[in-house]
Structure 1
Amino acid sequence: MKVSVVYALPSEQVWLPINVPDDATVLTAIHQSKILEVFPDIDLQAQKVGVFGKVSPLTHELKNGDRVEIYRPLIWQPDDDDDDDDD
């Protein structure tokens, strides 16, 4: 069956269409796509994954046409601009 694995960074987005066995899971698709070789910083123990925008476990069984998404951590950093009136 055909599925895709996607991952997006601020400067780069990757969409990998692959064929997987009918009983494939999210983890199967991730490994078969070899995306972990392209992005070795992906940590499946820390980062969430999902299918079509819905967070799913790595053991979730896929259906034909599913899009497996690996979510990167979103970290907000405050501006360096200090608005305090400490002067």
Structure 2
Amino acid sequence: MAWAAGPGQAEVVAVEVAPGSTVLHVLRASGMLARHPEIDLATQRVGIWGRLRSLSDPVRDRDRIEIYRALKVDPKEARRLRYRGQRKAG
């Protein structure tokens, strides 16, 4: 179970659940929703190993459940800004 509230702020929790458990079962068992009330499963997406999944999808042993936060900056624009900053500094 993994959640990053912001850059460099990753929280990873190991969770044991019964066979047949779903993504939602893991989220609840992890305590992540209680520790991070800013997580809104109605608007945020979840996934397993970088692939989008629904809360009702079953999980398997050693799956990494991820909660995705909204992007603040388009990745292409972020690269452009970094490139411009490097050109000016160099």
TM exceeding 0.5? yes
Query: Quick check: which one's strand share is greater?
Result: 1
- Which residue identity does 1:18 align to in structure 2? V
**Structure 2: stretches of 5+ with no match in the other structure:** 78-90
The residue number in structure 2 matching 1:76 is: 73
Query: Which residue in 2 is equivalent to 1:65?
Result: 62
- Pick from 2, 5, 14 the counterpart of residue 6 of structure 1: 2
* TM-score, normalised relative to structure 2: 0.77
Structure with more contact order per residue of length (Cα contacts < 8 Å, sep ≥ 6): 1
Q: Deviations over 1:20-42 (max 9, x none)?
A: 01011000000000101111100
- Which of residues 44, 49, 74 in structure 2 aligns to 1:47? 44
Query: Number of paired residues?
Result: 74
- Written as runs of structure 1 = structure 2, the 5 A alignment for 1:12-31 is 12-31=9-28
Q: Deviations over 1:6-64 (max 9, x none)?
A: 00122411000010010110000000001011111000000000000000000010010
> What letter is aligned with 1:36?
L
Counterpart Cα distance in 1 of 2:40 and 2:8:
19
* Identity within the alignment, %: 32
TM-score (norm 1): 0.80
What RMSD in Å do the two structures reach over aligned CA positions? 1.4
Segments ≥4 residues shifted beyond 3 Å: none
- Give the Cα separation in 2 of the matches to 1:58 and 1:37: 17
Q: Which is richer in helix?
A: 2
